[in-house]
Every structure is written in C-alpha cells, then in structure tokens.
C-alpha cells in the first residue's frame, strides 16, 4: 500500500441521539427550499415522515413513501417524474439502503434531465440537486456515491450500479433513536452487511491507510455492539455504538473498490430476490474463506476483533477461524445460513454464477476469479 488514490466527498455528517432535530439547520445551510422525501411504508407508519414534515414545514413539497427493496427502475422513473413536476431542489432519503438509493436515483435523473452534462462528473463536481441521507439501518449507502438499480424488464432481472461523485449525500444525519425499532432480523442482517463492508475494505485492491483504519475500527464496534442490539433493540447505547460501526463501515465502503462478496450479493439480490442483508450474511464466511490465503495479513485485525486468537497462529488459519466465527454469529442471531433457506433454487446456481462472473465488482476481487465454475462452487458451498 505504498501508492494510493481515492476520492473524498465534502459531506456534513451529524451524529448523535436526537440529531434528527438538527435536520432543519442543515437544510438551511444547503439553501434548499423545495425538498422531496423518499422512504418506505414502514418508516411512514412509524411516524418518522410526520417528524420530518414538522421539521421542514412548507419546504417539504413531495413525499414518495412506497420505495420497494433493490431500487426498481420502474419506481425510480415514477419518483423522478414526480420530483420534476414538483421542481424539487434537494432529495432526502430516509430508511435503509433502498430509500437512500432511490433518493440518489432521483437526484441523478434530475441532474441529467436539467443539464445534459457529461456523466460521470469530475471528482470535485458539486450536485445540482443534493441528496440528504437519514439512515435507519446499518447498510451504509449514506456515505457513498453509488446506488444499485434493478432492471426489472430484463429476463432475468439484473441489478447494476450507478456511480457519480454528485450523488454522494451532502448531508448525513445519523440519529440512533431512529434505529431503536429496527426489528431483530433487520438489525442482524444489515449489521452483517456493515461487517462485510469492513472486511471487503480491508482486502480491497484500492485500500488506503484511512479506509483500513475505518474498517478495523468498524469491525471492533460491530463485533461488540451488534449482538447487544439484536438482543436488546431498545438499548440506546448499544444502538449508538452500532451506528458508529455502520458509519465507519460506510466510510470505508465509500473509499475503495469492493470485490467478490459485494458483487455476488448484488446478483443474489437483483436476480434471485434475496434481501441484501441476508445475502451478505450468508455469503460473507464463504468470501472470507475464498480470499483467506491471498489476504490473510489484511484480515488479521478483523479476525482479532472478532475474538480469534491470532498470536502464534498461521494467518490463514486465523482467518479461516474468523470465517467460522462470522458463520456462527449469523446463526446466533437466527439469520439464514444457507442460500436454500433464502429461497434460492439449486437449479439457478449456474446462471447466477454466470451473471456474477461478468460483474466488474466480482472481477475486482483480490484473488482473481478464473471462471464461472469457481463462483458456482462457492455458491454451492453456500447453498
């Protein structure tokens, strides 16, 4: 790691219990007057939309509260047309990675519609329509300049990623109070998603000193706080520590190229319909195992943070033990540990492997993938 390159974004991050109350002042600083809110039905019924309406008053001119998982192209078109008709000048995403992705998709679409700029933008370009992110899961999208969108008309449907510096949220409000009612399964699965970001950042081919520091600290926070949040959802201190872990995970995710694990989870989500956190939880031990020999030295701090004794151990053996710990952690939180429990059919594995092999994220893996059969073997082990 003697040479590195990364793009950092000018983002205002507001963290702490009660920080939703500071949304208004952050929006003032942005200068936004006509905001749209993208969220999902459960967050609306939990009363969070009403809270934002009370904070923003007339400045909230549009609410799109029907976001479904995996950002479907049809919905993104609908939401973008709605936003255009309301002449919105900033888009808020409230919820998990799906509403945050939808807010980015709308902002990106408005950017393209209003001025046909060359896309993608230069690293330092400022957005025309900024995104404000208020995460309520641990998925990490709030820190990144990327969203996934599912092309539903393709057979089979395929999820692709869109990346542009202008869609990196300009304001991120982390309020642990908003996560107190996150149900145990979503706590566990999106927490495993955050853990996966740290792991892939540690062995990323584009890692750098800051991404590594964030990822190691992220694993430490998550390893300690996630089981506590799963067991006691309303423990504000545990929720706060876990959200710090998710922030560090998102920070490291934003800076580096992901690999095999991330690419596979996108295929399992977009094509096989597996919820993103569940896919992460099932695949992570297998991806760690696959990369163990090549990346053992990078993964040792994560192994140690997960409670594996690393002193005097062969590094690859310690990483293998870490993979087992991750598998056990998923089981202790009652998450599915096999793809067959997540509705994936055995007969579909070759096709999923073929699609995954074409993914540039999968091809970015530190241990090169030689053919689709290699991915199919991993999927069979996870099945």
Which residues lie closer than 8 Å to 259 by C-beta, 6 or more apart?
Answer: 200, 203, 204, 205, 287, 291, 361, 362, 364, 365, 366
Of 65 and 78, the one with the shorter C-beta distance to ligand NAD is: 65
The residue from 136, 217, 291, 298 that contacts ligand NAD (CB under 6 A) is: 136
The closest residue (CB) to ligand NAD is 97
**Interface residues for ligand NAD in 192-221 (CB under 6 A)?**
193
Which residues lie closer than 8 Å to 147 by C-beta, 6 or more apart?
Answer: 71, 100, 101, 102, 104, 105, 108, 141, 161, 162, 167
Q: Which two tokens stand for residue 4?
A: 């590195």
* Total interface residues for ligand NAD by CB under 6 A: 33
Tell me if 336 contacts ligand NAD by CB under 6 A.
Answer: no
Tell me if 69 contacts ligand NAD by CB under 6 A.
Answer: yes
Tell me if 177 contacts ligand NAD by CB under 6 A.
Answer: no
The residue from 19, 72, 75, 144 that contacts ligand NAD (CB under 6 A) is: 144
Binding mask 78-117 for ligand NAD (x = CB under 6 A): -----------------xxxxx-x----------------
The CA–CA distances, whole Å, from 285 to 82, 260, 381 equal: 42, 12, 10
CB of 184 vs ligand NAD, minimal distance in Å = 11
> Strand pairing partners for 322?
none
Q: Which two tokens stand for residue 14?
A: 């507001």
Cβ(49)–Cβ(94) below 8 Å: yes
CB of 160 vs ligand NAD, minimal distance in Å = 11
Cβ(227)–Cβ(331) below 8 Å: no
Q: Which of 79, 357, 333 is nearest to 225 (CA)?
A: 333
Of 97 and 285, the one with the shorter C-beta distance to ligand NAD is: 97
Tell me if 190 contacts ligand NAD by CB under 6 A.
Answer: yes
Tell me if 43 contacts ligand NAD by CB under 6 A.
Answer: yes
Cβ(353)–Cβ(379) below 8 Å: yes
Q: How far apart are CA 215 and CA 250, in angstroms?
A: 9
Which residues sit at the interface with ligand NAD, rule CB under 6 A? 40, 42-43, 69-71, 95-99, 101, 136-137, 139-141, 144, 146-148, 178-179, 181-183, 186, 190, 193, 253, 269, 276-277
């Amino acid at each position: 790691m003697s040479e590195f390159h990364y793009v950092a974004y000018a983002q205002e991050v507001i963290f702490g219990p009660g920080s939703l109350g500071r949304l208004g002042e952050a929006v003032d600083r942005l200068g936004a007057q006509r905001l749209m809110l993208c969220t999902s039905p459960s967050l609306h019924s939990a009363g969070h939309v009403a809270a934002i309406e009370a904070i923003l008053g007339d400045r909230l001119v549009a609410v799109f509260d029907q976001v479904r998982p995996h950002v479907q192209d049809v919905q993104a078109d609908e939401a973008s047309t709605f936003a255009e008709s309301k002449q919105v000048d900033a888009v808020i995403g409230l919820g998990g990675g799906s509403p945050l992705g939808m807010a980015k998709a709308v902002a990106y679409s408005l950017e393209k519609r209003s001025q046909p700029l060359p896309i993608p933008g230069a690293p330092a370009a400022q957005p025309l329509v900024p995104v404000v992110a208020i995460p309520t899961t641990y998925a990490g999208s709030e820190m990144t300049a990327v969203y996934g969108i599912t092309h539903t008309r393709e057979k089979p449907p395929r999820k692709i990623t869109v990346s542009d510096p202008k869609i990196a949220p300009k304001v991120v409000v982390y309020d642990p109070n908003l996560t107190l009612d996150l149900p145990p399964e979503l706590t566990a699965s999106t927490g495993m998603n955050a853990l996966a970001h740290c792991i892939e950042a540690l062995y990323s081919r584009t890692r750098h000193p800051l991404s590594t520091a964030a990822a190691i600290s992220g694993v430490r926070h998550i390893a300690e706080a996630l089981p506590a949040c799963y067991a006691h959802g309303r423990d504000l201190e545990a929720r706060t520590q876990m959200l710090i872990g998710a922030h560090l995970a998102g920070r490291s995710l934003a800076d580096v190229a992901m690999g095999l694990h991330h690419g596979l989870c996108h295929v399992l989500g977009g094509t096989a319909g597996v919820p993103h956190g569940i896919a992460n939880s099932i695949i992570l031990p297998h991806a760690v195992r696959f990369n163990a020999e090549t990346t053992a030295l990078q993964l040792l701090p994560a192994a140690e943070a997960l409670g594996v004794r690393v002193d005097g151990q062969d590094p690859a053996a310690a990483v293998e033990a870490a993979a087992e710990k991750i598998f056990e952690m998923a089981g202790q939180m009652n998450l599915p540990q096999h793809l067959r429990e997540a509705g994936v059919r055995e007969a579909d594995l070759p096709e999923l492997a073929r699609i995954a092999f074409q993914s540039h994220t999968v091809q970015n893996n530190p241990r090169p993938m030689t053919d689709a059969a290699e991915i199919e073997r991993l999927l069979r082990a996870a099945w």
